[in-house]
Amino acid sequence: MIKLAPSILSADFSMLKNNIEIIDEAGASMVHLDVMDGSFVPNISFGPVVIKSLRKITKKAFDVHLMIDEPTRYIDDFCNAGADIITVHAEACTHLHRTIQQIKSKNVKAAVALNPATPLNVLDYVLEDLDMVLIMSVNPGFGGQSFIPNSLDKIKSLRKQITDKGLTIDIQVDGGINTSNVRTVIEAGANIIVAGSAVFKGDIASQVKGFNAIFEE
Ligand code: DX5
Ligand code: ZN
């Protein structure tokens, strides 16, 4: 089953409660929360205090994408704020294995994100420990960028590895996804689709339904 994870980075921040209620009602599977520290990525967004207050609005899973250096420092804070899945960037962790175990010790799902230039083999010795891998299809930091086509080969190779090893791991794809190109990432093997601007710029409910209609084809 393919799932939609709208990224609220492209929502109207003065209307966050309303925008989250709309995606919840329209059939989003989870809420993708982009945390940026102005160091790992050249942008700053929001942190655990905001996530904790948003937690009251919906029961949908909170998928927290940490674009921050050395996320080990803040894992407990994001778990306590109500994260259901925490994604850390391989490039941002000195001790990636330890950071993954730290997330799992809090009974939260653990995921690792790879930037477009990062090879899959950084996951060679941790793949079995993961619930999800996030393949970035843009360089992280901003919504509204264009999809990087090389991401498709990466998704295909990862899906093959997961299948060959007999594992059950979600593949999430994030960046530049819209209703015109989403079929190609699904065919490549992704099963959790992040979309920011393609959901929140325009009629939010009908765009969520548009993605879900494609997933049911
Ligand atoms: C980018 C973020 C994405 C972003 C996606 O750094 O990780 O989640 O919000 O936005 P779109 O779908 O507009 O590329
Ligand atoms: Zn993201």
The CATH number covering residue 103 comes to 3.20.20.70
**pLDDT by residue (tens digit) across 75-125?**
999 999 999 999 999 999 999 999 999 999 999 999 999 999 999 999 999
- SS3 of 179, please? coil
What pLDDT shows up at residue 63?
99
Closest-approaching ligand to the CA atom of 207: 1
Which atom of ligand 1 is the closest one to the Cα of 147? 14
For the chain, the domain total comes to 1
Beta bridge partners of 86: 64, 110
Beta bridge partners of 67: 36
Active site (annotated) includes residue 12: no
Token output for 201: 């710029």
Q: How far is the CA of 33 from the centre of ligand 2 (A)?
A: 7
- Could you report the predicted ipTM of this complex, rounded to two decimals? 0.99
**DSSP assignment string, 32-64:** EEEEEBSSSSS-B---HHHHHHHTTT--SEEEE
- SS3 of 147, please? coil
**pLDDT by residue (tens digit) across 156-195?**
999 999 999 999 999 999 999 999 999 999 999 999 999 9
**What residues make up the domain containing 14?**
3-215
What pLDDT shows up at residue 32?
99
Which atom of ligand 1 is the closest one to the Cα of 32? 8
